[in-house]
Structure 1
Amino acid sequence: MLYFESEFMESITNSMPLSNRTAVITGASGGMGSAIAARLVAEGAAVAVLGRRTEKLDQLAAGLSDGPGRIVPVTTDITSETDVEAAVATIHEALGEVDLLVNAAGVMLANPLSDGRSDEWETMIETNLTGLLRVTRAFLPDLLGHKHDVPADIINISSIAAHVVFPDYAVYAATKAAVTALSAMQRTEIARDGVRVTNIEPGLTDTELGTHLDNDRLRSELQSMFAAIEPIKAVDIADLVHYVVTRPANVNLRQVMILPTLQA
């Protein structure tokens, strides 16, 4: 047997199955959230999908109803404490305790700071940061109480905007930088309890996130970027999440930046 061949063969068979995992995914009424949900259900996980658009969640659930996993749509506004508390009760009743949380909900509302759009600032902070904190806190008792022989995971979807300067996206970038910093701090608090935290920072991604922009100049600039660079897709993020959460329990991919080749 070649040197390291036994270790290599062991790594191939060491992927953890998802058939015994129970996941919660926020922002699942579209984009990355729905793609991640589809992948996890296809791998046999029980998945609760959270989002504000009931019709989209129901369509997603109907489309995945024949998959090997289970899917439960739960209409939830993560900026509402009451909504999140109700969602936890619904999920516990339907699926039991959770061992995998994907914080994929997010909004991107770009404008120059001089415009003073406090409504946009509040929406991004409440969704991208405070909402993420609210959902994480709600499910931490489940995650911390899991059996240590199987993994428990928190996946936070941040952005390369946490590091890369994009003019007129200051507040969006600030919320994503906060998510990246928060992920590192979360890890220091809960890794000892066997909970892994992974911070994923996508680059240019083909989702509906860019449609949130109401500034014609910035929308045109973003469209030009899409014309010049072949973006990654939501299914690419889902593929990455699947890889991360199926590593052996002692392996934590703490931070992953995923970019289109031409943006790298």
Structure 2
Amino acid sequence: MTYDLNNRTAVVTGAASGIGAEIALVLARSGAKVALLARRADRLTELAEKIAAEGGQALAVAADVTGDLTEAVETIHTAFGRVDLVVNNAGVMLANPITEGRDDEWHRMIDTNLKGLLNVTRAFTKDLVEAGAEGTADLVNISSVGAHLAFPNYGVYTATKAAVTHLSANLRTEFGPLGVRVTNVEPGLVSSELGDHMDNPDVDAHLAAWREQVPPLNPADIGDVVGFVTSRSKQVNLRQIVVLPTVQV
């Protein structure tokens, strides 16, 4: 499905695959110019070419959300001008028991899921505030239903997502009065690469079995939600959206 996002300029992080790629496709098909931000340049180039072949506008920007984004922001501004729609989607999910003491995984999840979101938000705050003063501006954060639930072995991941959900609510108290809408999206089980980087066979087997019991959402389902949210009238802010497979309870 497409929406009316003509004359909008978007940045989507974690756009190399899964939910991020599908969000980018929906936004581009709806008329937005989309900057694709992620580390895997080859994947971004393929997606940008696909969007261009469909008649859309996309820019591949290889960057790490946890690092210095100055060059990335300059590249986006040169190509597309001011940004008025930011989707913080980049994230990692690494599951292990706390007793394993995997601080390498803990740091990676905190750095990407929370600090990376803050880093990107800071990089485009001026753009969003200026856009919000003149028209429509959106900051969309992709959290997880895990922000409210407890899952064995996923404690640090869900803690980072709880932080994203709480941060989103607080960001809205600051950005809302400035004309910037803040939306927190919490997907349930989604078929994506998110769980492909875990190294615990028992956790992998449990996740696979869960996916057999609960047919997951497609990443395109989340893309559709983001397209819907960001295409509402300026005065309408859908603050919090939980998106679950119908049979996930």
What range is the shorter-chain TM-score in?
Answer: over 0.9
Identity rate of aligned residues, in percent?
51
> Could you tell me whether the CA contact under 8 Å between 2:132 and 2:180 is conserved in 1?
no
Instruction: Give the greater-gyration-radius structure (CA).
Output: 1
SS at match of 1:119: helix
Correspondent of 2:238 among 245, 248, 253? 253
8 A contact 1:44–1:67 mirrored in 2: no
Note if 1:163 corresponds to 2:161.
no
Structure 1: gaps spanning 5 or more residues: 1-14
- Is 1:74 matched with 2:69? no
Equivalent residue, structure 2, for 1:222 = 207
Match of residue 3 from structure 1: none
Matched to 1:155, the amino acid is V
Superposed CA deviations along residues 47-94 of structure 1, whole A, max 9, x for unmatched, are 00000001100111111112343100000111112xx11110100001
Q: What residue number does 2:73 align with? A: 88
Contact 1:43–1:68 under 8 Å retained in 2: no
1:184 matched to 2:184: no
Query: Equivalent of 2:39, from 33, 42, 52?
Result: 52
The count of aligned residue pairs is 248
Q: Which structure 2 residues correspond to residues 132-151 of structure 1 after superposition, within 5 A?
A: 132-146=117-131, 148=133, 150-151=135-136
> Distance between the aligned counterparts of 2:109 and 2:24, measured in 1?
23
**Runs of 4+ with >4 A deviation:** none
1:20 aligns with 2:7: yes
Give the partner amino acid of 2:72.
Answer: A
How much has 1:243 moved relative to structure 2?
0.5
Among candidates 4, 23, 26, match of residue 39 of structure 1 = 26
| SS in structure 2 at match of 1:206 | coil
CA deviations over 1:115-159 (Å, ceiling 9, x no partner) = 000100000000000000000000000000015453100000000
**SS class of match (1:64):** helix
2:222: which partner in 1? Answer: 237
8 Å contact 2:132–2:178 — kept in the other structure?
A: no
Provide the C-alpha distance between the structure 2 equivalents of 1:26 and 1:95, rounded to a whole number of angstroms: 16
- Partner SS for 2:34: strand
**Residue of structure 2 in register with 1:213 after alignment:** 198
Judge conservation of contact 1:112–1:168 (CA < 8 Å) in 2.
yes
The answer as to 2:175 corresponding to 1:202 is: no
**1:23 is aligned with what amino acid?**
A
TM-score (norm 2): 0.97
2:127 equivalent to 1:104:
no
CA RMSD of aligned residues (A): 1.2
- Which consecutive residues of structure 2, in runs of 5 or more, have no partner in the other structure? none
**Per-residue CA distance 1:98-118 (angstroms, 9 max, x = gap):** 000000100000100110001
